[in-house]
Amino acid sequence: MTTVTTATSVQQLRGRTLRLDSAWPDKTAHNWSVTCLLPRRAGAGPGGDLDRLRRRHEYLWSAVPDPEAGTAAIRTGLDAALEPHQCRLLGAVAGGADADIVGALNAATVLGPREWERRAWSTPPSATVAEERVSALESLGEEAQTVVLTAEDGLLRRGDPAELWYGAACSVLAGLIAAGRIDADAGIGALSLTEAGASRIAFTGGAAADRRLAADTLVELVSAPKHRPRFVLEVPRWTLRVTTPPGRLRRLLARGLDALDRVRGRDRLYLAVPRTLGRSRRVVTAFVESWSLQTGPCRLRLVREEGDLHALVAARGPLGAGELVHAVRERAWIDAPPPQAE
């Protein structure tokens, strides 16, 4: 729509649909995104409109049904705006679209009941908000910076990938605190929001800039390195973490299993340590120590040393997290816990 009109007009239209109307308390609007896809025969991929659609939805909120809870989650991102079936169809147009896919995608794009949409978005503030002179938004919850991690089948031989990534998130926070990038008293923490087929790690509390930094660092950790890293973390493809960090006996067992894996020559997982965590030995040591406590055994490789150059090659190849894990950034609204009854 920004091609046939102006970006300002589109934003004004969206603003009018979102604006509350005291004379129409049940007002509910659906905003459509019109996207043009190039045909497959053009040989130029789907075109820039699809990338524009993805970027736009990084900043737009959507209500995502949660059948188990009977409520809705409020998140950003194209995956939040579309159904899984629609996302799979969009994933099939990487080389260009054809009439069948476009027809199936349009047929799958249906509007939900307006009444459900209104209930999903309408959460009234508590009665004490005005008295406490706090914004209603803050009283209802906070915006969390979220990383969605989807792993290939067989990433881990044992254990839950969600537990692995939650431990990784805790270790990232420990490293950032040791680096002085986040205040130890800032109150920032990580949450693991389990979903079928994906691990969702949410950073909450603290300042917005701290949450963004933590999420960016976690994404860098699980992505293929764009530059030559100073350190690579080598970890076994399993974790003994279950809900809480492994205790002393479980850590001893993990070290024994890790040694056995090395003797048997089993594949490892290689993670390029982000630059923020690898700038000093003190910071990277805090990160590694936290990983050992939160997740399990690991080995730090200094890629400047000739004997450890294979770790760099592995991190950029099929044994690196960048080849086995897909990470997507989004924002999610985390509701504040209900007030405790006195």
d(CA 241, CA 238): 9
Give Dmax (Cα) for the chain: 73
DSSP 8-state assignment for residue 237: S
d(CA 56, CA 50): 10
What pLDDT score does 69 carry?
60
d(CA 119, CA 108): 23
For 314-333, how does the pLDDT look when each residue is reduced to its tens digit (9 = 90+)? 667 666 777 788 898 889 88
Top mean pLDDT of 41-45, 77-81, 150-154, 271-275 is at 271-275
Region 188-201 average pLDDT: 82
Region 178-201 average pLDDT: 86
Higher pLDDT among residues 65 and 270, named by residue: 270
* pLDDT interval class at 4 (50, 70, 90): low
Give the residue from 325, 297, 158 showing the smallest Cα distance to 238.
158
This prediction has a pTM of: 0.76
CB burial of 46-58 (b: ≥16 within 10 Å; e: otherwise) equals: bbebbeebeeebe
CB 101 within 8 A of CB 89: yes
d(CA 213, CA 176): 9
Q: Does the pLDDT of residue 130 top 50, yes or no? A: no
For 281-306, how does the pLDDT look when each residue is reduced to its tens digit (9 = 90+)? 999 999 999 999 999 899 898 887 66
∠ CA 243-245-250, nearest 5°, is 110
CB 297 within 8 A of CB 167: no
What pLDDT score does 292 carry?
93
DSSP alpha helix (H) spans, 135-231: 136-140, 161-178, 208-221
CB burial of 163-178 (b: ≥16 within 10 Å; e: otherwise) equals: bbbbbbbbbbbbbbbb
For 215-255, how does the pLDDT look when each residue is reduced to its tens digit (9 = 90+)? 999 999 998 888 888 898 999 988 888 878 878 887 888 88
Taking residue 36's Cβ as centre, other Cβ atoms within 10 Å add up to 14
Region 308-312 average pLDDT: 64
DSSP 111-148: PPPHHHHHHHH--PPPTTHHHHT--HHHHHEEEEEEEE
* pLDDT interval class at 52 (50, 70, 90): confident
What pLDDT score does 220 carry?
94
DSSP alpha helix (H) spans, the chain: 7-18, 48-57, 78-81, 84-91, 99-108, 114-121, 129-132, 136-140, 161-178, 208-221, 248-264, 275-278, 281-294, 309-316, 321-324
CB 221 within 8 A of CB 321: yes
